[in-house]
Structure 1
Amino acid sequence: MMQAANSNATRAEAGTTDFVTVFVGETMFGLAINRVHDVFIPAGVTPVPLSPPEIVGLLNLRGRVVTALCLRRRLSLPDREGETGRMAIGLEQGGETFALIVDGVGEVLKLGTDTHEAVPINLDARWRDLSLGVHRLDGHLLVILDVDALLAFGTPNLTAGAA
């Protein structure tokens, strides 16, 4: 009987995924930890003329030029009042480094399939295509973001070649 309990625990552990939680306002989002390379405070962002509205600008991250992308704008939310307290998540996509600008960074959560659900049909259409699903947690919802979809804006050819 003890061996069955141990194998169930092992299976449960194997079915978990770690997520870095980030906040935009009061909404909590999750990013798969294997996609996150850095967490930092963005400084010295240089605007890029004629860039899409989601692009805040370029910044220097340990000697690399990084494209800074505003998660608020990517989710079609209004800009936040003031520039203080912002954080950035370093992500890699196609050999490029991006800084995802968020309102705040939370903790790392290890979540299993028992709390995971498909993207709800009533989730805002602007968010639905950027989400992989949700986790219902004690009184709140964690929306899991699809990093590939987040960073595929303005580049329709990225997905066309994969088809």
Structure 2
Amino acid sequence: MTDGNQYCTFTVGSLFLGIDVRKVQEVIRYQEMTRVPLAAKVVTGLINLRGQIVPAIDLRPRLGLPPRAAGALPINVVVRNSEGAVSLLVDEIGDVVSVEADSFEPRPETLRGPSRELIEGVFKLKKRLLLILDVDRSVDVTQLAA
């Protein structure tokens, strides 16, 4: 489940999350977005990334968290999956951390709501837990209501 052992980290609300660095294309500051009519509410819009049109998914509602404070701008973590590039909107970017693959544990039973299906598992770090985000499930919004 966790082939690599380096993760790009970021926060969304109080959650400290990570994505395998091999899935991250780039991290960029907030970009103006074009709204998509009738899209699921987690799809904030489309961004133009050097001529490539990329959908932007806000991880706050995707994880069942309250909206960002007024005026707080998200950061784009552009990831690649089989469908192409997708931007995940996060609150704050962290560092790339290295972890031992054998310290991976299944997702905690205490996770509830939408986040339960989007978290693959955890790594115990010195001061907190690193929740590993399932990128493919996070960007799959086909089952969500608009």
Question: How does the TM-score come out when normalised to structure 2?
Answer: 0.89
Displacement of 1:37: 0.3
Question: Are residues 1:153 and 2:138 paired?
Answer: no
For 1:16 and 1:52, locate their aligned partners in 2 and report how far apart those are by CA, in whole Å: 31
Structure 1 consecutive aligned stretches of length 4 or more whose deviation exceeds 4 Å: none
> The residue matched to 1:129 in structure 2 has which SS?
helix
Match of 1:100 among 71, 75, 88: 88
CA distances 1:58-91 after superposition (whole Å, capped 9, x unpaired): 1101111110100111101111112434211111
Letter of the 1:48 counterpart: V
Displacement of 1:115: 3.0
Question: Are residues 1:134 and 2:105 paired?
Answer: no
Question: How does the TM-score come out when normalised to structure 1?
Answer: 0.80
Match of 2:70 among 82, 91, 95: 82
Matches within 5 A, 1:1-163: 17-154=5-142
Displacement of 1:139: 2.7
Count of paired positions = 142
Contact persistence 2:4–2:20 (CA under 8 A):
no
Contact persistence 2:30–2:73 (CA under 8 A):
no
For 1:77 and 1:26, locate their aligned partners in 2 and report how far apart those are by CA, in whole Å: 9
Displacement of 1:25: 2.1
Unmatched 5+ stretches in structure 2: none
Provide the aligned C-alpha RMSD in A.
Answer: 1.8
